[in-house]
Amino acid sequence: MTNTDYTDSDSLYLGFDLSTQQLKIIVTNDKLAALKSFNVEFDVAFKEKYGVHKGVLSNEGGEVVSPVGMWLDSMNNVFDQMKKDNFPFEKVVGISGSCQQHGSVFWSNEAQPLLKKLNKDEDLSSQLKDAFSWDKSPNWQDHSTNPEGEAFVKAIGREELAQITGSRDHLRFTGLQIRKFATRSHSEKYAQTSRISLVSSFVTSVLLGQIDGLEESDACGMNLYDLEKGEFNEELLALAAGVHPKVDNITKEDPKYQAAIEDIKSKLGEIKPINYTASGNISSYFIEKYGFTSQCKIYSFTGDNLATILSLPLQPNDCLLSLGTSTTVLLITKNYEPSSQYHLFKHPTMPNHYMGMICYCNGSLARERVRDEVNEKYQIEDKKSWNKFNEILDNTGKFDNKLGIFFPLGEIVPHAPAQTVRAVLENENIVECDLETHGFGVDHDVRAIVESQTLSCRLRAGPMLSKSAESSNVTPEPESSNVDLKKTYDDLINKYGELYTDGKKQTFASITARPNRCYYVGGTSNNMSIISKMGSILGPVNGNYKVEIPNACALGGAYKASWSHLCEEKGEWIDYDKYINKLFEVNNELDSFECEDKWVEYFDGVGLLAKMEETLLK
């Protein structure tokens, strides 16, 4: 390993990223400079011991789990690497991090005493082998909980569940996994469970040497937590525990019901509200074994997507678009406007704010198929070349009332099977058409796929951004907005009728909401033709930015640690967006790009896509 000079840094911070396939730890300083990273890949280091493939164990029943002992081994492994590298552990003043979301860890009754008496001369996994009632943890890829999903929907309803918890039922979510564990797969082990952690609070527990409470923003991914009330929902707890009156035929008057509710509350423990206060100081095990000081603070860890938004200077109404095999939109909002088609989590460092998340299955694969058709038509020798695709896209004019919906795979948002739909607006009527009819050729597919994917993001982000803009001081009126938006909206509704997205009516506020800034990451962000087109449609008020954040989750954790530590030092809350903006100058550090503002022009695209989804999708 190369030597890193830490002499100029009085205080260091560690950011963990415990993902499906590796543990990475990044080192930062007070200036948010990333100094060095260390990692271990699970398949490389632990395949023989645990039998994992791509970090997990899976079976034909859809069960996908991770060995908890492997995570403990990975902590020793990375800290051992750092020790061999002569890393100055004594300079570390704060640790936080990111972990894969939704996974649960089931502690045994022996957990607390075992955590407290760890011996520095032995590794973690051998000393904590009896600390778990089950030595596995469900992974986010697990899809073995269909019966549990059906139970949650039957008892609560899909939209109602989203209204309470910020998300509809998802097979990977912790509440469904706990119900399966308690009632179907491991009921005896559930009875022997003293506490249930998320992966994020599991890691903090190990570092602290005592079981830590759940972190509030990560707890929003459980289908158990009432976001608006800030507490667990009793009816959802009853579902998870297997004592729901409607589903499990156990009345609330039955002593078994109340005992089960109290038991699951005790197992889940407290929810730690969004704050900067440390969970405690690092355990003596890590002090004696690696040389941390007793003053090193452990701050609550959070989920991976939540940590990602902490790695950039995102302000209210900012959108982060991750353009990979799938497309994920993350945004910051003050507006709690839940839907079954996306997620809302409490923001991990900004009280009274939420992180919205929209996940699309069809991203680059759909665009690549159109690219391949174009290259075949023009007999391009390099089949993977984007040059012709980009040339066509760059030369497109105004929106021409033609759109396509391209789902080579079944789509999550909107929920639909694999299909391709093309349509044109002719004489105020939406006419479905085939390729090479109605002026819709292969060349037109190029603009249609980029337009429809972007318009879908715009439609679904609108409700989350709408009311947030009214109370935000970061979203001024754009200079290009000399348009009478009320008239534009009225004309749109007169032309298309009332617009609905995923069964919910779009309003003037949601249709006319604009992002503050848009950031583009992932493989497709390197294609300037595509992201310029996206930027012109999304119309952010304060610009578009292309960014590269290869260690986003770990960096977000490290920044959370340094922000928390500074807040504690000063004894006051420092606004996170101001903190990171001060140290991370947007205009200097990030790559902004110019594109023509066609936000108003694409109101027609908004109307056409909404009606195509409503009337033409199978």
- The 10s digit of each residue's pLDDT in 346-383 is 999 999 999 999 999 999 999 999 999 999 999 999 99
Residue type, 478: P
- The 10s digit of each residue's pLDDT in 291-306 is 999 999 999 999 999 9
Residue type, 323: L
* Residue 150's pLDDT band (cuts 50, 70, 90): very high
pLDDT at residue 471, as a whole number = 44
- Rounded Cα distance, 169 and 151, in Å: 10
* Residue 334's pLDDT band (cuts 50, 70, 90): very high
DSSP letter at 516? S
pLDDT at residue 590, as a whole number = 75
Mean pLDDT, range 543-567, rounded to an integer? 94
Q: Tokens representing 175?
A: 């509440």
pLDDT at residue 585, as a whole number = 63
pLDDT at residue 10, as a whole number = 93
Q: What is the DSSP string of 167-194?
A: S---TTSHHHHHHHIIIII-HHHHHTEE
Query: Number of H helices and number of E strands within the chain?
Result: 25, 28
**What residue ranges do the domains of the chain occupy?**
12-300, 313-467+485-549+589-617
Is the per-residue pLDDT at 475 higher than 50? no
pLDDT at residue 468, as a whole number = 53
Q: Tokens representing 542?
A: 């304060």
- Rounded Cα distance, 173 and 177, in Å: 6
pLDDT > 90: percent of the chain: 91
pLDDT at residue 483, as a whole number = 82
Number of alpha carbons in the 13 Å side-chain half-sphere of residue 162 = 18
Assigned fold of 313-467+485-549+589-617: Nucleotidyltransferase; domain 5 (3.30.420)
Is the per-residue pLDDT at 169 higher than 60? yes
Task: Considering only CA atoms, give the Rg of the chain.
Answer: 25
* Residue 476's pLDDT band (cuts 50, 70, 90): very low
CA angle 379, 380, 385 (to 5 degrees): 150
The strand pair at 429-433 and 419-426 is best described as antiparallel
Mean residue pLDDT of the chain comes to 94
pLDDT at residue 526, as a whole number = 95
pLDDT at residue 55, as a whole number = 97
Q: Judge whether 315 and 332 are in contact, CB under 8 Å.
A: yes
Closest CA to 499 of 471, 459, 534: 459
Closest CA to 39 of 8, 65, 64, 18: 18
The domain defined by 12-300 carries CATH number 2.60.120.200: no
Q: Tokens representing 532?
A: 């310029």
Q: Judge whether 81 and 38 are in contact, CB under 8 Å.
A: yes
Task: Give, rounded to a whole angstrom, the gap between the first and last alpha carbons of the chain.
Answer: 55
- The 10s digit of each residue's pLDDT in 208-224 is 999 999 999 999 999 99
pTM, rounded to two decimals = 0.94
Closest CA to 183 of 147, 209, 235, 207: 147
Q: Three-state secondary structure along 274-325?
A: CCCCCCEECCHHHHHHHCCCCCCEECCCEEHHHHHHHCCCCCCCCEEEEECC
CA angle 294, 300, 304 (to 5 degrees): 130
pLDDT > 70: percent of the chain: 96
Closest CA to 313 of 72, 533, 516, 608: 516
- The 10s digit of each residue's pLDDT in 448-473 is 999 999 999 999 999 999 765 454 44
pLDDT at residue 581, as a whole number = 82
> Strand, coil or helix: what is 128?
coil
Q: What is the DSSP string of 316-350?
A: TT-EEEEESSSEEEEEEES-----TTSEEEE-SSS
pLDDT at residue 587, as a whole number = 47
Residue type, 252: K
pLDDT at residue 236, as a whole number = 98
Q: What is the DSSP string of 438-494?
A: TTB-HHHHHHHHHHHHHHHHHHHHHHHHHHHHHT-SS-PPPTT--S-HHHHHHHHHH
> Strand, coil or helix: what is 158?
helix
> Strand, coil or helix: what is 152?
helix
Q: What is the DSSP string of 353-401?
A: -EEEEEEES-SHHHHHHHHHHHHHHTT-SSTT--HHHHHHHHT--S--S
- Rounded Cα distance, 219 and 460, in Å: 23
pLDDT at residue 124, as a whole number = 98
pLDDT at residue 212, as a whole number = 97
DSSP letter at 529? H
Q: Tokens representing 120?
A: 């520095």
- The 10s digit of each residue's pLDDT in 11-50 is 999 999 999 999 999 999 999 999 999 999 999 999 999 9
Q: Judge whether 450 and 312 are in contact, CB under 8 Å.
A: no
Neighbours of 126 (CB within 10 A): 12
Q: Find residue 95's DSSP bridge partners.
A: 14, 298
Residue type, 284: S
Tell me whether domains 12-300 and 313-467+485-549+589-617 share a fold: yes
Closest CA to 492 of 393, 604, 379, 587: 604
> Strand, coil or helix: what is 615?
helix
